[in-house]
Amino acid sequence: KQGWDDNGVTSDFPLNLDREHNLYDHRKVVERENAESAFVSAAVVSVWDSQEHNNQALSPSAHPSTSEVKKSSIAAYPARFQTAIINFPPVDDSLGLELSQLFPERGQFEPIRSNAIAISSIPSSPPGILLSFQRGSTLAIVNHTLVPFQTDWQMGGLMNRNLFKPSLLSTSVRPGHRVLLDSNLKECSPSSSEATPTKTMSPFLNMWCTGGQGWSLAGIQGTGQTYFICWDGATDNTRGPFMFPLDQGSSGDSKTSSKSFCFASGVVPLMSHISNAENVTPSFHRIEAKLPTVSKPYYSLPSFLQEDACYSPKRSFSIAMEESIKITAKMEGGLDDIIVSALDSISTPIAKPTSGGRLNRSKMLAMSHKEKSKRLLRQCSSWTQLDDTKANHGIVHGQVIAVTIRLGTQFQSLTLRTNSIANPISTPFNQVLSWLCQRRDYYTAASVALSLLDDAEAVYELCGIPTSPEEELTHHKGLLDGIKPLGDDSVHENLSDTLTSLADMAVGCLIKGGATMSNTLEGFLARNKLYNAPRACLMLVGAISSAMSKEPAPKLKLNKNGDIMSMLSTAETPTENLIWPVRCLIKMAVVRQCLPSVILMLNATIPNELRWRAPKGQGLASSPRPSLGLFLELVDIILESTEEATRLFLNMMDEESGPNPYWFSISDDTKLALSLVSIHGKHVMLEEPEVRSWCLGRLAEEIESPTDSAYNDGDGPLLSDGWLKEVVTGALCNAECNIGLGLDAMLMKKSASQMSPSNGPEIACYRKDMLNVQELLIPHKHSCGLDFDLIISSLLILARRGCDWREGTQVSTQTLLNTVCGMAGRKTNTEPKFVFDSATVMRQCALSDNLQAAAFLIGGKKGLILECADLVVSNLAITVKDAELALFMGSLIELKGSVISIYGGISAPKESVFMPQYYHHHLLWLLEEHVLNVRIYGDFDSTSRMNPVYAGRICFRAWYCLTHPSTRRRSAEWLEGWMRQKLQLTRGESPMRLACAALVRTLLWADEAEGLDLSDSNEEPLLAAVIGFGGQFMAELAQACCGLIQSIPPHLAEEVMSSFGSSNMVSFEASLINSAQ
């Protein structure tokens, strides 16, 4: 009993014990019963004394009025010096199912013996009684929690304490508050004060115990066995509480000490800030019920940037940084001062000339990533509380003696942390998180912080526990034992500020956890609305800078003229340790709508990594460029966040190069790599004006350079084929065309399978492929449209080099170029984002000697002339000018002469049968499209459709030029048969009368360039005679279109129409047939 007197227990009031099982062996001597009763009585009185404030809380002022409540009940403990009866549960209930099975059956003569060994010390919450249970060598300690009883009061005026009618006090055992000890009876001798039981019974173990809030120190007398038990946090019966055995016989005479009795005494520390008593009634505060109304915080313009404020001399911002801060504050509606202070801490001081006129180079040197990280994190109080600093060590690692133990001649003491004594019942969360982070236990720290915020989803994700929608998430609640509730009335703080501080520290714990906790952090940043976004931004940017400082130099050595595509293909993938903080930061910026300020912080912290630029070196030493893979990954994460991110990214200012905007602060190879960045299938950079303008400039330089000098001294082309292909593909993907999605192969195979020679021989012409490709080039109506300038310029270079525009494509580069040129400048379903510069593109077509592209770009009559001229020039040794003269400018006599001179040195083909070539097929397609497909009368005078007569004359002239004189008769016969089949011409009748009229007007009438000559002069031959068509065929054509005024020239038609009704009217139809014959 002396040991309990040392704990300050001097009362010896009686206590009625109504037990359903024996607290001790009934065969023990009466003196032991009296000592035990005195012990339990004193213990309970001490507990009551510590709960005096519970009764004081029931004051009249705190009590509801009679009109409001007629009768109610509250939970309370007995008043001071009041006798109460305590009921303990049965032995099996106390031990629980797990421990009951471990106690061996020793017969009816040896029951399970119990003994009250300690009560919870002052202050403690909730109060409890520790009982030991023994049978044989099995020994267990169970912590029984005292359950407050319900008291009824009668409303009838002021409250009176005498109105309380206490009932029985009961106890319960919380989950995990049972522990099994390993006792060694062979080395244990029974106490001399105990009576020896029968021979069949095991000796009784006399235990000693003391403790504090949530912990106990217990031992077995005469054995030297001592255990430290931590009850807080124990929620599982299978695991039990944390128990750590202590060795008390390690020094001195261990044999003598182990057999000596142990005397433990509590020590009251001399600390002025210790709370003597706290509310033991559990205060459960649901966070959801007290959450403040969260909205986007409004931050005013920083004071040093306001117009009516003086410039702070502590700020070292340049003009570019000031403007960037102003723009960001305007976009976000303000900027937090902590962001401004952080920018000021990492900004390079403005270099000022010294007295000698020199710049101080030491002040202009770039700050290291490690130093930037320290300065940024220093601005955030939530992070500094978690750091392993000397100041934090004093708070969480200070030691105070709590218990002294005398074992024989040895005198030992147990020390506890200062905060466990200063906050005996519960510890503030910031001290718990700080202590865990200093021990590098970020996993537990994050779990505790997230549990306090009641974010069960994050806790389960962090623990890797699978969840289902129907499951109640309660696994995390056991982590909160011993931590001060967030809504504790003793804390005179605003709950909103407390929750914000806790959320900030949760972010800090997850950041310290590294890549393994990044997914949990990302989800927390997206869900939680309590954390302070500017402070979270500082912590994440500081983590990014710290990670960059640990990144080794890249292994890839870059050549000045190296192919950017090969560099991109061999770029190293950055490690996850570098990427996860950036990903979490951008996620937070999107959710909290603070992307401008986040990009501002990144630009100030890692400007070189964002520009793939080597940092400033000291002296003559040169620093390597950052990793290309890291640069591309950073750009991808930022640009894929929102649609506005691309513009914000390009608006970044760089002080080192100017100051200049982002695009003008990077090198050419960086621009080449950045222009190809694809975000969600779109090359977003190609849609920005400065990027597009630079690309068009580089393409123009490539086109204007001579063909033989397209390579820089054998080091490679100015623009690689791979880069050009990516630009074409990117522009098509931006327009959301089907061909950009790779559907060209499917459509081309389908069109090839649908070809059938049912109506004459099949015509093979790239014009037919163009029609199929045109269907694939239709842009989506909600896209930016086709960028014709970029696509045509790139395709011109690829066509000149003879390269495919995409690997494995079914569409040739020239066909795609022709189709795009045919669509350029025409009306489409989607208006292009940029105005088409037709003059510049036409000039580039001429410089590239690409007549096909120029022909489709011009379109109309001139385009048809260039299209046919391309066929003539590519197959005959003549110039473009000579081809134009032969096709439409010269007379038929001049045409015959030029053809004779062209084929003068060309030998006749060996084949006797005429076989049309690809250029013949192309002309046949043009004849069928523009002449034979005439369906209405208005086609002859339409402005939207090619004039069939004009098109027929150009095509027939081109046919004549491309046919060798030796095969002209056979070619004319073949062409005559083809037209008979297409026109279904039989014995002067055809269902296609308008087409026959167009052919008659083309072949039987002279060119209408300078009017008609109706005389009988034979100086200018007819086109039909030049081609070699037979008279019978021409007569049937004329007969098939008799009566159609479209078969004669317009001014002759007027003359004929005016002669109707006169005596000199010419029989036009008869004369036309006769002339044909």
Q: Note the pLDDT tens digit of each residue in 117-150.
A: 988 765 677 788 999 998 877 889 999 988 876 5
User: Is the pLDDT confidence value at 376 over 60?
Assistant: yes
Mean pLDDT confidence for 376-389: 86
Mean pLDDT confidence for 692-718: 74
CA neighbours within 13 Å on the CB side: how many for 111?
Answer: 12
Q: Which two tokens stand for residue 106?
A: 């020793």
Q: How many percent of the chain have pLDDT more than 90? A: 32
Q: Which pLDDT belongs to residue 319?
A: 82
- Residue 539 to residue 380: CA distance in whole angstroms: 7
Helices vs strands, H then E, count in the chain: 43, 16
The CA-CA-CA angle for residues 492, 495, 496, to 5°, reads: 135
Query: CB-based contacts of 223: which residues, under 8 Å, 6+ apart?
Result: 183, 184, 187, 188, 258
Phi, then psi, of 213 in degrees rounded to 5: -65, 110
Strands 215-220 vs 225-230: parallel, antiparallel or unpaired: antiparallel
Mind spelling out the 3-state secondary structure of 197-238?
CCCCCCCCCCEEEEEECCEEEEEECCCCEEEEEECCCCCCCC
Judged on CB neighbours under 10 Å (0-12, 13-18, 19+), 776 is buried
Helix or strand holding residue 245 (H, E): strand 242-247
Q: Which two tokens stand for residue 837?
A: 């510069």
Contact criterion met (CB below 8 Å) for 103 and 138: yes
* Least confident span in 222-226, 302-306, 958-962: 302-306
Helix, strand and coil in the chain, % to nearest 5: 45, 10, 40
Residue type (1 letter), 451? S
What value does the CA radius of gyration of the chain take, rounded to a whole number of Å?
49
- Measured from the Cβ of residue 123, the count of other Cβ atoms closer than 10 Å reads 20
DSSP 6-39: TTT--------B--SS-SS-TTS-HHHHHHHHHH
Report the Cα 92 to chain-centroid distance in Å. Answer: 56
- Residue 936 to residue 273: CA distance in whole angstroms: 104
The CA-CA-CA angle for residues 612, 617, 621, to 5°, reads: 115
- Measured from the Cβ of residue 103, the count of other Cβ atoms closer than 10 Å reads 19
Q: Which two tokens stand for residue 552?
A: 């080794």
pLDDT band at 188 (very low <50, low <70, confident <90, very high): very low
Query: CB-based contacts of 281: which residues, under 8 Å, 6+ apart?
Result: 54, 75, 148
Query: CB-based contacts of 450: which residues, under 8 Å, 6+ apart?
Result: 458, 459, 462, 476, 506, 520, 524
pLDDT band at 477 (very low <50, low <70, confident <90, very high): low
Helix or strand holding residue 246 (H, E): strand 242-247
- Residue 360 to residue 354: CA distance in whole angstroms: 7
- Measured from the Cβ of residue 62, the count of other Cβ atoms closer than 10 Å reads 9
The C-alpha torsion from 827 through 833 and 835 to 841, rounded to 10°, is: -90
Mean pLDDT confidence for 315-325: 80
Nearest Cα to 590, choosing from 667, 519, 644?
A: 644
The CA-CA-CA angle for residues 381, 593, 308, to 5°, reads: 70
User: In whole angstroms, how far apart are CA 34 and each of 14, 850, 861, 1072?
Assistant: 10, 116, 125, 147
Contact criterion met (CB below 8 Å) for 212 and 424: yes
Q: Which two tokens stand for residue 817?
A: 């170029």
Nearest Cα to 771, choosing from 808, 726, 737, 822?
A: 822
Residue 726 vs residue 9, higher pLDDT = 726
* Least confident span in 76-80, 154-158, 345-349, 440-444: 154-158
Mean pLDDT confidence for 347-359: 54
Strands 86-87 vs 169-182: parallel, antiparallel or unpaired: parallel
* Least confident span in 267-276, 759-768, 792-801: 267-276
- Residue 841 to residue 837: CA distance in whole angstroms: 6
Nearest Cα to 920, choosing from 887, 883, 872?
A: 872
User: Is the pLDDT confidence value at 640 over 50?
Assistant: yes
Residue 668 vs residue 86, higher pLDDT = 668
Q: Which two tokens stand for residue 1008?
A: 């209408």
Nearest Cα to 91, choosing from 116, 61, 114?
A: 114
Residue 69 vs residue 806, higher pLDDT = 806
Q: Which pLDDT belongs to residue 1070?
A: 52
Q: What is the mean pLDDT of the chain?
A: 76
- 1021-1053: per-residue pLDDT in tens? 888 989 999 889 999 988 888 878 888 877 776
- Residue 940 to residue 942: CA distance in whole angstroms: 6
Mean pLDDT confidence for 874-898: 87
Helix or strand holding residue 1068 (H, E): helix 1068-1076
Q: Which pLDDT belongs to residue 754?
A: 52
Nearest Cα to 219, choosing from 252, 243, 250?
A: 243
The CA-CA-CA angle for residues 163, 165, 166, to 5°, reads: 140
Q: Which two tokens stand for residue 718?
A: 């100015």
Q: What is the DSSP letter of 65?
A: P
DSSP 722-764: HHHHHHHHHHHHHTT-TGGGT-HHHHHHHHHHT--GGGSSPP-
Beta partners for 156? none
Query: CB-based contacts of 299: which residues, under 8 Å, 6+ apart?
Result: 329, 332, 333, 334, 335, 336, 337, 534
The pTM of the full predicted model, rounded to 2 decimals, is 0.73
Q: What is the DSSP letter of 707?
A: G
pLDDT band at 488 (very low <50, low <70, confident <90, very high): low
The C-alpha torsion from 418 through 423 and 428 to 429, rounded to 10°, is: 70
- 411-428: per-residue pLDDT in tens? 888 888 777 777 777 778
Q: How many percent of the chain have pLDDT more than 70? A: 70
- Residue 424 to residue 825: CA distance in whole angstroms: 81
Nearest Cα to 185, choosing from 201, 161, 208?
A: 201
Mean pLDDT confidence for 459-474: 72
User: Is the pLDDT confidence value at 300 over 80?
Assistant: no
Mean pLDDT confidence for 971-984: 92
User: Is the pLDDT confidence value at 759 over 50?
Assistant: no
User: Is the pLDDT confidence value at 175 over 80?
Assistant: yes
Buried-exposed string 1053-1075: b where 16+ CB fall within 10 A, e elsewhere: eeeeeeeeeeeeeeebeeebbee
User: Is the pLDDT confidence value at 212 over 90?
Assistant: no
Q: Which pLDDT belongs to residue 1059?
A: 63
pLDDT band at 397 (very low <50, low <70, confident <90, very high): low
- Residue 824 to residue 863: CA distance in whole angstroms: 13
- 815-874: per-residue pLDDT in tens? 999 999 999 988 777 888 899 999 999 999 999 999 999 999 999 999 999 999 999 999
Contact criterion met (CB below 8 Å) for 109 and 201: yes
Beta partners for 182? 138
- 712-740: per-residue pLDDT in tens? 444 455 789 999 999 999 999 999 888 87
Q: Which pLDDT belongs to residue 203?
A: 73
- Residue 527 to residue 507: CA distance in whole angstroms: 12
- Residue 479 to residue 503: CA distance in whole angstroms: 16
Contact criterion met (CB below 8 Å) for 83 and 41: no
User: Is the pLDDT confidence value at 12 over 60?
Assistant: no
Which bin fits 1014, alpha (ψ -120 to 50), beta or left (φ > 0)? alpha
User: Is the pLDDT confidence value at 283 over 70?
Assistant: no
Q: Which pLDDT belongs to residue 1061?
A: 53
Mean pLDDT confidence for 468-473: 60
Residue 251 vs residue 510, higher pLDDT = 510
- Residue 609 to residue 625: CA distance in whole angstroms: 8
Q: Which pLDDT belongs to residue 215?
A: 87
- Residue 68 to residue 1052: CA distance in whole angstroms: 113
Q: What is the DSSP letter of 482?
A: T
CA neighbours within 13 Å on the CB side: how many for 649?
Answer: 23
pLDDT band at 63 (very low <50, low <70, confident <90, very high): very low
Q: Which pLDDT belongs to residue 739?
A: 87
- Residue 1043 to residue 1039: CA distance in whole angstroms: 9
Residue 813 vs residue 201, higher pLDDT = 813
- Residue 234 to residue 129: CA distance in whole angstroms: 17
The CA-CA-CA angle for residues 749, 754, 760, to 5°, reads: 130
